[in-house]
Amino acid sequence: MLNTYVVYVENKPGVLTRVASLFRRRAFNIDSLTVGRTEKPEVSRMTITVDADLDQSRRIEANLYKLVNVLLVENITHEPAIVRDLAMIKVAATHEARSHVLELASVFRARVVDVAPDSLTIEITGGEDKIDGLLEVLRPYGVLEMVRTGIVAMRRGKGSTPVSAPDNSDHDVAEEDVSHSV
Amino acid sequence: MKDKTNMTGASILWECIEREGVQTVFGYPGGAILPAYDALKGSKIHHILVRHEQGATHMADGYARASGKVGVAVATSGPGATNMVTGIATAMLDSSPIVCITGQVGSKLIGSDAFQETDITGVTLPITKHNYLVTHASEVARTVREAFYVARSGRPGPVLIDITKDAQQTTCEFDYEAAKPQLPGYRPDLSPDKKEYDQALELIHNAKRPVILAGHGIIISGAMSEVREFAEKTGIPVALTLLGLGAFPASHPLNLGMMGMHGEAWVNHTIQEADLLLAFGMRFDDRVTGNLKTYASSAKKIHIEIDPAEINKNVKVDVPLVGDLREVLHELLPHVETIDRSEWLDSIDKLKGDAAVRDIQNLPDSGHLYAAHVINDLWRETRDGDTVVVTDVGQHQMWEAQYYKHEKSRSLITSGGLGTMGFALPAAIGAKVARPEADVWVVVGDGGFQMTLCELATIVQEKLKVNIAIINNGFLGMVRQWQEFFYERNYAATPLLNPDFQKLGEAYGIRSMTVTERSQVVPSVRAARDHDGPVLINFRVEQEDTVYPMVAAGASLHEMIRRPSKIVETAEDE
């Protein structure tokens, strides 16, 4: 089944490679992986979805912890969580199709972010099912281009990023060498 | 030395390595590491010049395995660094703590395909426990402290530090105390909870046919006396993995011997018949389990292991106890009960008789020199001293494991997980440096010896007393054995046309001899031990001898190919 992990890592160069390389090396197939900053500058956050059974999912967690730069791993597959994916879909929309496409977009609460003579670009945020649903109904009109971010996830309820890493900003590493891209 | 002072990155490097207690490093200089070599003159560290960087990593590894301390290898960028890859992978699979220092091109040149530039942190990412790219002198101190800590703690492993040339050359303020390791995500000190201990104890007390599987983790954790106490208190017999040999005395009545592909037949049968396996610091490698589907299928399993990622990896276990073995056994020991296991032990004893008649040691001398003879005689001659045997990979390695009876931990050093040919000679150099008082013996095949024999020069240059026993059968013996069994004796690319090893040794200034008969084995070993310098003995052994028993790859553990019991006739047939 598809497992969703939230992985907190030190915001240091090369950490993304370490995580991605781990999945490759242990022959686990990443379904999606997103990474970005958190409210703490020294911590980056990844949302990773992987197809794995129960045993595999535990071993993925244990293997992630073996990476020295990994701070915390949460398997939120069975937790109440907000899960969002973002897609931009460029649809062929000639004059007569345009109103139908706009109607569909509004049913899905998607936004039109670009209009061209022969096409519309729709931005949609939501769970993967919702985006799949919109995509399904737009397909007959001709999907010219599509991009999805992959999911980001957050547990529902109170609570903040449960980790922190030492802030090395007082360390005399020249500023331009502190990479924020992992 | 004052604690706050301006120093170059190179000087900080050696200062920090010294503060880790390191006295000797193994290395090979080159352009990108030259500033560090220049700074060596201000350091108390003794540098051993190797002949190939792979050798440096195996020496650091041998040093680590012989002493339990972190071994250090040094190389330059590019080819120097890539030559270390095999040694790093070897240390990784056998959980050996080494720190590798490599030079790197200047930080402004990184990514430009500069001369001798290799992305060595990228290359070694999957074969190191952790690695670092250091681009500023100010990062050196903390990185070195972290690297040694990561290498030796938890499940040990290799750590690589790649330092750019400018980071070695530039100067910065050095404050050792301020450069404390900052590893917020690194938690090597796990321990099981109460419930898991209770479950384990219940399984132990209810078991009728339990076996302890003793692995390398016992030696790493330093839990030899705890394991012995546990076995004696519970009356549970002990089977060992290759890397576990020495963790439990071979002469102990509860010692069964080695398990697995070339383990003793009764050991494998015992495991298959057991109703409880207690895995102590071992990882159910495929060489130990055979076919997983039929492996110890009626046994419950307790796995005491420091690395949580090993739990349920190969074999599904009933109770995992994740933590340091020594600490876990300390928790268990007061609660284990003494149970009479004589029925179980007697049934195991009965299995041994069949093996004894097949043992080459019990057969009359047919005039042929067998590797088993050499190793058994070597054992008889050296058993009483502080001896370290360092083996390579292949048939001789298995015969050593079968016929050299290890009583003490760290008396056998061998490449188990990666099976690295060429390991023995350099690893023995590291072992001798770590334990100068020990009698160090290299037991190596004629194939593996030729992979790293350049390090003979290192032995001579460093005036090291290392004894080398080449088990020379003129074949890549283990591969030949597989061809014999599984490829219809098609000996493709396994016969070796060898140089005269005696003359070769002499060319290096090493006292060398050739032995072709069993009667010469003991005198040659004695002569080697008496000689005040390195000795090489070329043992010309039976060419097409075979390691028995053998569990074919993928076969069940109890399905072993056994040595034909009429060995004398078989030998004469050839």
Q: Are residues B149 and B238 in the same domain?
A: no
Count of C-beta atoms within a 10 Å radius of residue A100: 14
Q: What's the pLDDT tens digit per position in B135-173?
A: 999 999 999 999 999 999 999 999 999 999 999 999 999
**pLDDT of B568 strictly over 60:** no
User: Chain A closest CA to B309's CA: distance in Å?
Assistant: 5
Mean pLDDT value of segment A97-126:
95
Domain with B431 in it: what CATH number? 3.40.50.970
Q: What's the pLDDT tens digit per position in A74-85?
A: 999 999 999 999
Asked which of A38-42, B168-172, B457-461 is least confident by mean pLDDT, the reply is A38-42
Residue at which a domain ends, from B351, B384, B400: B351
- Which residue among A55, A68, A164 places its CB closest to the CB of B183? A68
Interchain contact, B184 vs A164, CB within 8 Å:
yes
**pLDDT of A140 strictly over 70:** yes
* Position B137 in a domain: yes
Q: Are residues B206 and B130 in the same domain?
A: no
Residues of B in contact with A171 (CB under 8 A): 138
pLDDT for the residue numbered B419? 98
Mean pLDDT value of segment B93-97:
98
What's chain B's average pLDDT?
95
Residue in this structure with the two tokens 């402004």, named with its chain if needed: B108
Question: How far apart are alpha carbons B408 and B245 in whole angstroms?
Answer: 8
Q: Are residues B211 and B261 in the same domain?
A: yes
What ipTM was predicted for this assembly?
0.90
Residue at which a domain ends, from B300, B325, B351: B351
Q: Are residues B121 and B268 in the same domain?
A: no
Interchain contact, A25 vs B135, CB within 8 Å:
no
* Position B571 in a domain: no
pLDDT for the residue numbered A73? 96
- The residue range of the domain holding B475 is 369-541
pLDDT for the residue numbered B362? 66
Question: How far apart are alpha carbons B121 and B102 in whole angstroms?
Answer: 10
Confidence of residue A157 (pLDDT cuts 50, 70, 90): confident
Q: Are residues B374 and B248 in the same domain?
A: no
Interchain contact, A59 vs B139, CB within 8 Å:
no
Interchain contact, A71 vs B136, CB within 8 Å:
no
Do the domains A82-152 and A2-79 match in fold?
yes
* Position B560 in a domain: no
My answer on whether omega of the bond before B549 falls inside 30° of 0, hence cis, is yes
Helices (H), strands (E): how many in chain A?
A: 4, 9
Mean pLDDT value of segment B318-342:
97
**pLDDT of B94 strictly over 80:** yes
Residue B531 contacts residue B359 (beta carbons within 8 Å): no
Contact partners, residue B168, CB within 8 Å, separation at least 6: B8, B9, B10, B13, B33, B35, B36, B39, B103, B137
* Position B548 in a domain: no
The count of domains in chain B is 3
Q: Is the pTM value of this prediction over 0.90?
A: yes
Mean pLDDT value of segment A26-45:
93
pLDDT for the residue numbered B574? 32
pLDDT more than 70, % of chain B:
96
Question: How far apart are alpha carbons B450 and B321 in whole angstroms?
Answer: 43
Interchain contact, B185 vs A18, CB within 8 Å:
no
CA nearest to B147 within chain A: A68
User: Chain A closest CA to B58's CA: distance in Å?
Assistant: 24
Q: What's the pLDDT tens digit per position in B5-31?
A: 899 999 999 999 999 999 999 999 999
Question: How far apart are alpha carbons B474 and B496 in whole angstroms?
Answer: 5
* Position B497 in a domain: yes
Q: Are residues B243 and B118 in the same domain?
A: no
Q: Are residues B132 and B254 in the same domain?
A: no
Domain with B279 in it: what CATH number? 3.40.50.1220
Per the CATH hierarchy, to which homologous superfamily does domain A2-79 belong? ACT domain (3.30.70.260)
pLDDT for the residue numbered A160? 74
Interchain contact, B138 vs A21, CB within 8 Å:
no
Mutation for B interface: A23, A40, A68, most B CBs within 10 A: A68
Residue B347 contacts residue B490 (beta carbons within 8 Å): no
Terminal Cα distance for chain A, rounded: 28
Which residues of B belong to the active site? 53, 115-116, 165, 478
Per the DSSP assignment, residues forming a β-bridge with B171 are B8
**pLDDT of A176 strictly over 80:** no
Q: What's the pLDDT tens digit per position in B203-246?
A: 999 999 999 999 999 999 999 999 999 999 999 999 999 999 99
| A138 phi, psi to nearest 5 deg | -85, -25
**pLDDT of B571 strictly over 90:** no
Mean pLDDT value of segment B526-530:
98
pLDDT for the residue numbered A123? 98
Mean pLDDT value of segment A33-49:
95
Question: How far apart are alpha carbons B348 and B282 in whole angstroms?
Answer: 22
- DSSP alpha helices (H): ranges in B404-463? 424-434, 446-449, 456-461
Q: What's the pLDDT tens digit per position in B234-283?
A: 999 999 999 999 999 999 999 999 999 999 999 999 999 999 999 999 99
What's chain A's average pLDDT?
89
* Position B186 in a domain: no
Q: Are residues B69 and B151 in the same domain?
A: yes
Mean pLDDT value of segment B398-416:
97
Q: Are residues B161 and B224 in the same domain?
A: no
* Position B574 in a domain: no
Fold of A82-152: Alpha-Beta Plaits (3.30.70)
Q: What DSSP state is assigned to residue B94? A: T
Residue B396 contacts residue B371 (beta carbons within 8 Å): yes
Q: Are residues B450 and B508 in the same domain?
A: yes
Sorted by where each begins, the domain ranges of chain A are: 2-79, 82-152
User: Chain A closest CA to B313's CA: distance in Å?
Assistant: 7
* Position B182 in a domain: no
Interchain contact, A55 vs B312, CB within 8 Å:
yes
Pairing mode, if any, of strands B387-391 and B412-414? Answer: parallel
- Which residue among A18, A55, A173 places its CB closest to the CB of B136? A173
pLDDT for the residue numbered A101? 95
Mean pLDDT value of segment A21-38:
93
Q: Does B178 touch chain A (CB under 8 A)?
A: no
Q: Are residues B161 and B200 in the same domain?
A: no
Q: Which two tokens stand for residue A82?
A: 């907000």
Q: Are residues B165 and B245 in the same domain?
A: no
Q: Does A78 touch chain B (CB under 8 A)?
A: no
Residue at which a domain ends, from B148, B175, B202: B175
pLDDT for the residue numbered B566? 57
